[in-house]
Structure 1
């Protein structure tokens, strides 16, 4: 199985975990929220919004275009901080995020 296929599966797993935790939103944030220049759009979105509306679509776009995937990638620490004490039962989501990190940081 190619790295691209595994990354796509990982993104789908993250989406499913978000749905299971009722974090998946039906409406995007306001358009202005996407104009942030801060990492993870921390000034305009919460962590799960950034994951759903920024990271996942961008990763799918890279895959669809056969573009190079990021090779220095670590989002799990941000989500550990963002979810600390706020979200219970998020272990499966965190594990899925870590698998994505591991896939994209794997040296071939």
Structure 2
């Protein structure tokens, strides 16, 4: 189990790095109202890049740091493919990383 946790943690860092590399990392946080969105991927309040940065990454890091149960499945790649349909070249590496994240989460669920 420990190796899986480390692999997931490393993957989160790679996702963060790719968001920075693409210039999709924002210095300004969304509003508290946007961050409180309960809509899947907060599509009603922010774009997918923001959701990855401000909700997904912090929540996954918190799960790992607290030893909380991991999600049993992740369908994040499907959303990424929908969002980045017009940016296939730019988003290729991020989509690859998200696909690997999906596999890591479901690997031992």
**TM-score > 0.5, shorter chain as reference:** yes
- Secondary structure, counterpart of 1:2 in structure 2: helix
* Consecutive unaligned residues in structure 2, runs of 5 or more: none
Tell me what 2:50 maps to.
Answer: 49
Q: How many correspondences in the alignment?
A: 108
1:47-94, Cα deviation, whole Å (9 max, x unpaired) = 000000000000000000011111111100001101111464211111
Q: Over aligned residues, Cα RMSD in angstroms?
A: 1.4
TM-score by length of 1: 0.94
Tell me what 2:100 maps to.
Answer: 99
Runs of 4+ in 1 over 4 A off after TM superposition: none
Tell me what 2:37 maps to.
Answer: 36
CA positional deviation for 1:30: 1.0
TM-score by length of 2: 0.93
1:15-74, Cα deviation, whole Å (9 max, x unpaired) = 011111000111111111012121000000100000000000000000000111111111
- Secondary structure, counterpart of 2:8 in structure 1: helix
